[in-house]
Amino acid sequence: MVFRSVSLNYTRNPSRRFEIDVGIGVNEDLLLAQEIGCAELAGVDGVMAEPPPRALIVALGDSNVQMRFHGWVDQRAHDFGQVRSEAIRRVKLALEAAGMDMPEPIYRVQLRDESARIPGPPLHHTAVAATAEADTRINTDLSTQIDREQEESANHDLLDPAAPREL
C-alpha cells in the first residue's frame, strides 16, 4: 500500500502476460505436451496471437515435470483474470483429452521387512523418446512491440525527473 507517496505508472502497453503452471507425468512426451498446451492457448478468446503462446519446462518435481505456459492478453479488450481462468481450464482439458498423465503428488514407501510386502506385478518404467528437439533460439516475440513503443515514446522519457507526475 502506498501512503503519502507519489506512485508513478510507467506502463503504456496494455498487453499483459499470464502464466499457467501444470505438472505433467515424468514418462510423458514433454514436447508433445508443450505443443498441445500452446495450441489450446492460441484458441482461447482473449489470448493474443502476437506474441504467440509459449511453454517452458521449469522444474523436475517429486512426481511430475513442471511446465509453464505463457499467453498474452490485451487488457483494453479482455478481462485478464477471466482469460487466464479460461486458459487454465482449456489447457487442462486438452492435456487430459490427449491422455497426458497429470499426477498428484505421491510418495513411495519402501518397506525394510520383505515379508510385509504386498505381492503384485513388478513396476516397469519406460522413458519416452523425444520426438524432436526443443527450440532454444533467442525469443524475439516482443521485438516488434518494443520497437514500436520506443518509436512512440522517443520524446517522452517517463523516467526523466522532469516528466509529469501524478499527485
Provide the residue ranges of all domains of the chain, joining segments of one domain with +.
15-152
Over 70: is that where the pLDDT of 1 sits?
no
Q: pTM for this one?
A: 0.66
The CATH number for 15-152, chosen from 3.40.50.10330, 3.30.70.100, 3.40.50.720, 1.10.10.10, is 3.30.70.100
* Burial annotation 124-152 (CB, 10 A radius, 16+ → b, else e): eeeeeeeeeeeeeeeeeeeeeeeeeeeee
Looking at 97-106, 125-134, 146-155, which range is the least confident one?
125-134
Helix (H) or strand (E) holding 145: helix 143-152
Which triple of cell numbers denotes residue 140?
A: 524475439
pLDDT in tens, 23-70: 999 999 999 999 999 999 999 999 999 999 999 999 998 889 999 999
Task: Average the pLDDT over 119-135 and give the result.
Answer: 57
Could you tell me if 28 and 104 are in contact, meaning their C-beta atoms sit under 8 angstroms apart? no
Q: Residue 12's Cα: distance from chain center in Å? A: 23
Over 90: is that where the pLDDT of 146 sits?
no
| Higher per-residue pLDDT: 110 or 47 | 47
